[in-house]
Homo-oligomer: A and B are copies of this chain.
Amino acid sequence: MSEQPNHFSLLIGQIWSAYKKQFTRIEVPAKTDLLKEGETAQKMFFIETGSVRVWHNHNGRDITCQFFFENNMVSSIESFKKDIVSPITIQTIEACVIWWIDKREMKKIIEEMKEVPQLRDMLVDALFERTFDYIKHFTTYILNTPEQRYLQVLRDRPELVQRIPQHYIASYLGITSVHLSRIKNKLAKGK
């Protein structure tokens, strides 16, 4: 979840520098679906520039679950790993430069990595890291109010508030855009 340098970004850097040739570069406009809900993930994407969101159609409501920026890889991870249909859509927010790789190629890379002790440890550590991030993320939904969650995002991921339309952030925070607007208004007055 976090954008700080960690095992996950190290791992991506490693993959990216060693296997770049196996990726294909594309340029896509804003609001392009890289993977649609209901399809099975056949690719994994590396974002060179731009922003991407992962969202889920919940009873006709568009709920944003995650945001991704430069130098990150994104896929419907469970669909990718288990060959099941994706519960989520992956969509660009801004125009993007994306590099994609075929699922089979990527799985080969992962198998190769498992044979190299250093990379294998990096993989395991990265998975731990991801798990920690998710624990933290969902914990804030129990512990904190929407206002506190917004302040947390403001503090920990300011690029998000700067680059992402507010209604996506609202659904990411689990509230309506009307309510987020109220929170912002209240915070502005308080200052």
Chain A residues at the B interface, C-beta cutoff of 8 Å: 56, 58, 63, 65, 77-78, 81, 114, 120-121, 123-124, 127-128, 130-132, 134-135, 137-139, 141-143, 171-172, 174
Contact = CB atoms under 8 A, between A and B. Distances in A.
A59 to B, nearest CB: 9
A142 to B, nearest CB: 4
A130 B142 CA distance: 19
Nearest to A130: B131
Contact of A124 (B123, B134, B139, B141): B123
A58 B143 CA distance: 7
Contacts of A141: 138, 141-142, 174
A120 to B, nearest CB: 7
How many copies of the chain does the oligomer comprise?
2
Contact of A135 (B127, B134, B143): B134
B139 A65 contact: yes
Contact of A174 (B114, B130, B142, B171): B142
A130 to B, nearest CB: 5
Given A134-B138, A142-B171, A128 B65 contact: no
Contacts of A134: 131, 134-135, 138
A143 to B, nearest CB: 5
A75 to B, nearest CB: 13
Nearest to A139: B65
A56 B56 CA distance: 30
A137 B143 CA distance: 14
A56 B63 CA distance: 28
Contact of A137 (B58, B138, B171): B138
Given A138-B141, A143-B63, A171-B142, A128 B128 contact: no
